[in-house]
Amino acid sequence: MNQELLKEYAKVCTTLKDLETRKKELQPLMYEHLNSLDLDKIQSPFGTFSLGERKSYTYTDEVAMAKEEIKAIQTEEENNGKAQIKITPFVRYQANKE
């Protein structure tokens, strides 16, 4: 067992998680800052920062029912072998609880 490889992988996973958390904390501050400058985009020595919007939709009950019907058909195809299986290998890491 390659302990160094395991240690490095664990460290990278932890660092990524910490960075994502920090990014989520900074996101509203960055938005507020650019918005207060009345700018959509700002050039800096670190790169370009721009404001954007992401749309999301809330659908009617009719769409929710259609999704349920599709899910049932998908499950049926999975069970009867009509659906093609694609297997993607991966490594899952879970830190030890302290």
Nearest C-alpha neighbor of 31 from the set 46, 54, 49, 18: 49
Half-sphere exposure of 18 (CA within 13 A, CB side): 7
3-state secondary structure of 89: coil
Task: Give the chain's mean pLDDT.
Answer: 95
Reported as a single tens digit per residue, the pLDDT across 42-69 is 999 999 999 999 999 999 999 999 999 9
Query: What is the percentage of the chain residues whose pLDDT exceeds 70?
Result: 100
User: pLDDT at position 98, please?
Assistant: 75
User: pLDDT at position 58, please?
Assistant: 97
pLDDT above 80 (res 6): yes
Reported as a single tens digit per residue, the pLDDT across 69-89 is 999 999 999 999 999 999 999
